[in-house]
């Protein structure tokens, strides 16, 4: 019971850590997306007169960066936590050092499947 609780806690921490970290990294990279298409008025571009990008207010630029970062980070977090965890559960039993992360119920199902196939073959 205690080992199962510890294992569940480690799975929870691991899945949230991976999802949050990757979501954070991609979100920080997505803030560059805003700077690729927009710019603010500054002395570098003569207060917007020589700018090749769309010039917006600094406050709008900041809000747009936050919005894009939050949306893309959330999407990546959800994809990682849902899709990645399913793929991880499929791949973990194959490796010796990660078998402890798989539920014992799944291990029992895998152990029962060959026995059921053997019984059906004998009955035919």
For residue range 69-109, list pLDDT tens digits in order: 888 888 887 887 777 767 777 766 666 566 555 555 555 55
The whole-number pLDDT of residue 20 equals 76
- Tally of domains within the chain: 1
CA 66/CA 1 separation, integer angstroms: 44
More confident residue, 102 or 50: 50
Q: For residue 95, give its domain range.
A: 2-123
CA 121/CA 113 separation, integer angstroms: 12
Which H helix or E strand runs over 28? helix 2-37
Over residues 26-36, the mean pLDDT reads 83
Q: How many helices (H) and strands (E) does the chain have?
A: 4, 2
Query: CB-hemisphere CA count at 13 Å for 63?
Result: 5
What average pLDDT does the chain have? 75
Lowest average pLDDT, out of 11-15, 46-50, 70-74, 88-92, goes to 88-92
């Amino acid at each position: 019971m205690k080992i199962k609780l510890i294992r569940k806690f480690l799975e929870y921490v691991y899945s949230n850590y991976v999802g949050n970290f990757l979501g954070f990294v991609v979100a920080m990279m997505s803030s560059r997306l805003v700077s690729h298409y927009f710019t603010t008025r500054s002395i570098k571009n003569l207060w917007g007169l020589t700018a090749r990008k769309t010039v917006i207010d600094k406050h709008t630029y900041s809000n747009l960066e936050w919005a894009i970062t939050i949306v893309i980070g959330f999407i990546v977090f959800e994809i990682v936590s849902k899709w990645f965890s399913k793929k991880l559960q499929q791949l973990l039993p194959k490796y010796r050092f990660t078998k402890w992360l798989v539920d014992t119920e799944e291990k029992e199902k895998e152990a029962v499947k060959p026995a059921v196939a053997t019984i059906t073959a004998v009955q035919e």
